[in-house]
């Protein structure tokens, strides 16, 4: 899919043609692929695709900084978002410089009963999984 230079927040282009989920994923994949050689870690691109929150370890360690990156991106202050992202990356690099021993994966904090499992399975099927 060729990237449109007019993509804006909310998943529409300058021509007001909506992007479907697959197209949004392709745009995000292109951003992430472009960042890969630079070893960049990015919160902003998903905010441009309309997310209000995310699940990431950095959100728990640096909640205010993570939120400020998303808010700056959403209001269009890309310079501030980039500066904050660079700060976050340096903090994460510092933590990771000696490695992080996390051990084996843990079980979910809340047991998954049959009703919850059925809801999760239905949700995943709705989105083709």
Q: What would the pLDDT profile of 55-72 be if each residue is shown by its tens digit?
A: 677 888 889 998 898 888
User: Three-state DSSP class for 70?
Assistant: helix
In sequence order, what are the beta bridge partners of 18?
12
Q: pLDDT band for position 40 (50/70/90)?
A: low
Regarding pTM above 0.85, the answer is no
Q: pLDDT band for position 18 (50/70/90)?
A: low
Judge whether 27 and 7 are in contact, CB under 8 Å: yes
Taking the C-alpha atoms of residue 29 and residue 21, their distance in angstroms, rounded to an integer, is 12
DSSP state of 107: P
């Amino acid at each position: 899919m060729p990237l449109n230079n007019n993509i804006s927040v909310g998943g529409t282009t300058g021509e007001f043609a909506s992007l479907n989920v697959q197209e949004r994923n392709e745009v995000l994949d292109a951003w992430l692929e472009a960042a890969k050689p630079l070893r960049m870690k990015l919160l902003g691109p998903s905010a441009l695709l309309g997310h209000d929150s995310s699940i990431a370890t950095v959100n728990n360690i640096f909640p205010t900084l993570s939120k400020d990156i998303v808010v700056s991106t959403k209001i269009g202050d890309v310079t501030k978002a980039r500066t904050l992202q660079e700060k976050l990356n340096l903090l994460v690099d510092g933590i990771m410089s000696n490695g992080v021993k996390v051990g084996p994966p843990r079980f979910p904090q809340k047991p998954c009963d049959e009703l919850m499992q059925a809801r999760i399975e239905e949700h995943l099927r709705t989105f083709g999984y």
